[in-house]
């Protein structure tokens, strides 16, 4: 009988790091079993890891927690990629063909691979997304199986500053393999937006703590992707600086005001010494700036509101009260809030929260990509009370699992023989590795 596959994904944001684990059955059902998160402070700036050591420690704790819940060892993960410098660059690849032979998947894959090798100054290509196909200069939705003497493929090169991926590699330098890097906004666009939305024209807006990512789709193709250095934390800091309060108070005020985007609407209330109307003035002003920048992305993409039928919001910042109505009024386009991918079965419905849509989209994408027989977790099995390793060898005094855990720098406790039948020896410390962003992120 084919064994179920375990999938683990990690998403590192400016305010938190999240890990999730899912199980894919032999029938293809993907059930999200566990989700663990840690809040971050000054470790990630605009989506780029700044403090490698602290992030590495957070990842270790998250993976240890996930392992404890399933009784196994995480051997690999899918890592989400996002951040301020992430955007698309349009490129074209042309190739002459033998008109007597049909176009195959292999030919298309080869052309797309060549497109990804094209250097983009100061940036690294993370992914290549086909945008349009032309056979003998005629547009076609799918060239495979057609015949022609030439083919042109227009692609989106998804690029970011090298520091983004470089520091992601650094935080994973403890023995757990990154199975693949997934562009987070692309995973969300693929698994949260409907086919109809992508076809008719849709703007996907991910409102994070320090960044806002905008992806625009039309006729089933990604037309535009950009990341703005603005997010929910900007609003919180405006309240902090303007009203001289601590961040916890400013955040509490921001999320509890009934009309934060309409300062003159409703009777003023006092929350921890802060008058709601005073805070609303700062909230509405900064939110107006964010919405103006979102609207401007259509212009930068060479589009207008006539080219899109809807706007879908995701991310923690989209929970601001009144935001949907205000953005709909500003842009004169239907605005909704996204939901988690329909292909997933959430075993714990408490994780069905809008701020978890990104990590759940990464799980959904990873479930499509994982090859048959592969898994991200080696589950320990038991035979007559003894732990049997995945290769069916009875565990001895120091199993290979512990050697890998030593590399991960975990500090474990010795397990009692009556519980596991073997002793864990985990104690190597994290290396003191600090990395500053390779480039100063100025406005």
Sorted by where each begins, the domain ranges of the chain are: 1-81+164-190+343-443, 87-160, 195-337
Which tens digit of pLDDT belongs to each residue from 108-133?
A: 999 999 999 999 999 999 999 999 99
| Residue 373 buriedness (CB in 10 A; 0-12 / 13-18 / 19+) | exposed
Measure the CA–CA gap between 300 and 312, rounded to whole angstroms: 19
Output the pTM of the full model. 0.85
State which fold the 195-337 domain adopts.
Answer: Nucleotidyltransferase; domain 5 (3.30.420)
Predicted confidence (pLDDT) per residue in 128-162, tens digit: 999 999 999 999 999 999 999 999 999 999 999 99
E strands in 97-210: 124-135, 138-140, 150-160, 177-183, 202-207
Q: Region 53-73: what's the mean pLDDT?
A: 94
The pLDDT mean for the chain works out to 87
Query: In this predicted model, what pLDDT tens digit does every residue of 269-293 receive, in sequence order?
Result: 899 999 999 999 999 999 999 999 9
Alpha carbons 280 and 260: distance in angstroms, whole number: 5
List the beta strands (DSSP E) in 263-327.
270-271, 274-275, 310-314
How far is it, in rounded angstroms, from Cα 87 to Cα 297? 12
Does domain 87-160 match CATH 3.30.479.30?
Answer: no
Q: Which residue has the higher pLDDT, 8 or 406?
A: 8
CATH superfamily entry for domain 1-81+164-190+343-443: ATPase, nucleotide binding domain (3.30.420.40)
Q: What is the largest CA-CA distance in the chain?
A: 78
* Alpha-carbon span 273 to 245, nearest angstrom: 9
Over residues 420-442, mean pLDDT? 37
Q: Establish whether domains 1-81+164-190+343-443 and 195-337 are of one fold.
A: yes
The token pair at 4 is: 């179920």
* Residue pair 300/216 in contact by the 8 Å Cβ criterion: no
Structure tokens at 299: 């212009």
pLDDT at site 383: 52
Residue 437: the pLDDT is 41
């Amino acid at each position: 009988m084919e064994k179920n596959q375990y999938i683990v994904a990690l998403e590192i944001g400016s305010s938190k790091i999240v890990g999730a684990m899912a199980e894919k059955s032999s029938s293809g059902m993907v059930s999200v079993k566990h989700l663990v998160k840690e809040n971050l402070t000054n470790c990630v700036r605009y989506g780029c890891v700044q403090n490698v050591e602290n992030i590495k420690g957070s990842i270790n704790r998250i993976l240890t927690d996930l392992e404890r819940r399933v009784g196994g060892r995480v051997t690999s993960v899918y890592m989400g990629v996002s951040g301020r410098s992430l955007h698309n660059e349009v490129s074209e690849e042309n190739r002459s063909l033998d008109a007597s032979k049909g176009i195959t998947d292999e030919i298309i894959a080869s052309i797309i691979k060549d497109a990804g090798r094209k250097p983009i100054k100061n940036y690294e290509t993370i992914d290549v997304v086909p945008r349009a196909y032309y056979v003998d200069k005629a547009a076609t939705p799918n060239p495979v199986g057609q015949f022609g003497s030439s083919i042109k493929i227009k692609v989106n090169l998804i690029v970011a500053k090298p520091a983004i991926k470089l520091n992601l590699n650094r935080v994973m330098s403890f023995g757990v393999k990154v199975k693949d890097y997934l562009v987070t906004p692309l995973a969300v666009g693929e698994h949260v937006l409907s086919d109809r939305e992508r076809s008719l024209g849709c703007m996907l807006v991910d409102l994070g703590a320090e960044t806002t990512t905008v992806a625009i789709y039309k006729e089933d193709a990604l037309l535009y992707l950009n990341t703005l250095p603005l997010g929910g934390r900007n609003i919180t800091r405006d309240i902090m600086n303007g009203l001289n309060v601590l961040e916890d108070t400013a955040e509490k005020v921001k999320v509890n005001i009934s009309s934060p985007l309409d300062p003159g609407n409703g009777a003023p209330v006092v929350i921890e010494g802060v008058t709601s109307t005073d805070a609303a003035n700062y909230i509405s002003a900064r939110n107006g700036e964010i919405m103006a920048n979102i609207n401007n992305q259509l212009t930068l993409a060479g589009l207008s509101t006539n080219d899109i039928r809807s706007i879908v919001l995701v991310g923690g910042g989209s929970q601001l009260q009144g935001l949907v109505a205000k953005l709909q009024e500003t842009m004169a386009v239907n605005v909704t809030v996204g939901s988690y991918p329909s292909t997933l079965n959430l075993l714990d419905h408490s994780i069905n929260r809008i701020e978890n849509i990104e990590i759940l989209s990464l799980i959904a994408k990873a479930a499509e990509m994982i090859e048959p027989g592969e898994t991200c977790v080696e589950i320990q099995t038991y035979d007559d009370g003894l732990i049997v390793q995945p290769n069916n060898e009875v565990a001895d005094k120091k199993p290979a699992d512990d050697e890998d855990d030593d590399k991960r720098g975990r500090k474990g406790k010795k397990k009692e023989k009556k519980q596991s039948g073997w002793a864990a020896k985990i104690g190597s410390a994290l290396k003191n590795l600090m990395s500053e962003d390779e480039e100063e992120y100025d406005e």
